[in-house]
Amino acid sequence: MMKQVLRLTGLGLVALIGLVVLTAIVARFSDGPIALFPGGSLESGDWVEGPVADWSFAAQIEEIEMQLAAQAISRTTWIVVLEGQAYVPCSLGFPPGKTWHEEALKDGRAILRIDGNRYRVNLSKLDDDAIATRLVEAVGKKYGGSPGGDGGVWFFRLDPTS
């Protein structure tokens, strides 16, 4: 009896690992991320032309899809709106090995997909501690926790592309 339980548990674990690996592979070739798995380029959705003057429409949106212009990989991320200006937080502690924030410092051009619409933006790292403190509070209210945990957090302001 115990052998059967162990065998079934082992088979279930192998099937689960296989499903996770398959999802990760499929996501890389899809139009955007799949849940927590990074995806391919953001190809579908209408383009919103011109700069967005007020991002308040995105204040209640939980997650957006984002792709750096220099990469063919998209990811799911949070968005926070403060006084009409939108920001994307980047936890420096989780997941480990993340590098998109460093790439954004080199070239901040990005594409966002929000509710099926695509926006061209430029990500600018926020260096204003007073605004960052307000953003941490806003993230806590919206998402119920700190955006960076113990690893710290960077915020990127969404600016119009030039």
Q: How many other C-beta atoms can be found within 10 angstroms of the C-beta atom of residue 87? A: 26
Cα–Cα distance, 1 to 3 (Å, whole number): 5
Helices (H), the chain: 2-28, 100-106, 129-143
Which residues fall within 8 angstroms of residue 93, CB to CB, at 6 or more apart?
Answer: 148, 149, 150, 151, 152
CATH code of residue 141:
2.30.110.10
The answer on pLDDT for 76 being more than 60 is yes
Per the domain annotation, does 21 fall within a domain? no
Q: How confident is the model at residue 68 (pLDDT cuts 50, 70, 90)?
A: very high
Cα–Cα distance, 118 to 43 (Å, whole number): 9
The answer on pLDDT for 78 being more than 70 is yes
Q: How confident is the model at residue 16 (pLDDT cuts 50, 70, 90)?
A: low
Per the domain annotation, does 37 fall within a domain? no
- The pTM of the full predicted model, rounded to 2 decimals, is 0.80
Per the domain annotation, does 120 fall within a domain? yes
Number of domains observed in the structure of the chain: 1
Convert the pLDDT of each residue in 95-135 to its tens digit.
677 788 999 999 999 999 999 999 999 999 999 989 998 99
Average pLDDT over residues 7-20: 66
Per the domain annotation, does 32 fall within a domain? no
Task: Supply the range of the domain harboring residue 80.
Answer: 46-160
Give whole-number Cα distances, 102 to 44, 92, 125, 127, in Å: 26, 10, 10, 15
Structural tokens at position 40: 């391919």
Cα–Cα distance, 135 to 79 (Å, whole number): 10
Per the domain annotation, does 8 fall within a domain? no
